[in-house]
Amino acid sequence: MTNSSLISIIIPTLNEAERIEAQLAGLQALGDDRIEIIVVDGGSRDDTPTLAAPLASHVISSNPGRAVQMNCAAQASQGDILLFLHADSRLPDGSIDEIQQALSDDYEWGRFNIRLQGHHPMLKVIALAMNVRSRLSGIATGDQALFMTRRAFEAVGGFPEQPLMEDIEISKRLKRLSRPACLRAHVVSSARRWERHGLWSTIWLMWCLRYRYWRGADSQQLAKEYRHAR
């Protein structure tokens, strides 16, 4: 992997018209010819694809489901490096260089630290806990902007097409190839999920779901419970 390798930034969307233009404008502002930006839409009922089209390299359609969408976009992408970015997350300055450098060392994949953007003072504590847990466990979440070489993505078979915990599962598989590069720069992610449903109830829900997944619970059942709680 070289420092001039093309990075495919893959953004799965579903009804993100309120924020997709700002997200893509921020990526355009990087002014880096080492990136292609692929928006993969899972059937939005708003104007997400239309708004994204002038600002993305490609806008493609897919069956719904984050894992399904990301796999679809990966197949359509050209990059030797794949970066999976949520529509409400913003990359830090210098992120392209940091990814290129990390993957030119002994790493096949990695993630960023996260900072949650919101008003509640506990958000800083939550983000710190997420970063420490990820560094100790070698497991990353989609909020942390997972990146990996194409060969690593293909070696583990892409994202498992399950409705929940696909980021946890691919991290477990990628760990067999190499430890993750845990970049200290911060991806800034919206805290809308936490603030909309309450910090403590969201923390409790996610920890319960992750614990049960670790114990072998079926992701389909966990997804049903997650949707019901939301």
CA angle 182, 163, 85 (to 5 degrees): 40
Is a pLDDT exceeding 60 seen at residue 230? Answer: no
Q: Which pLDDT belongs to residue 45?
A: 96
The enclosing H or E element of 110 equals strand 109-117
Is the pTM for the entire model greater than 0.75? yes
Sort 138 into a burial class: Cβ within 10 Å, 0-12 / 13-18 / 19+. Answer: middle
Domain at 7-192: CATH code: 3.90.550.10
Residue 229 predicted with pLDDT over 50: no
Give the percent of the chain with pLDDT over 90.
Answer: 72
25, HSE (Cβ side, Cα atoms, 13 Å): 5
Specify the pLDDT at position 226: 67
What is the torsion angle, in degrees rounded to the nearest 10, for the CA atoms of residue 4, residue 153, residue 77 and residue 56? -80
Number of helices followed by number of strands (H, E) in the chain: 10, 8
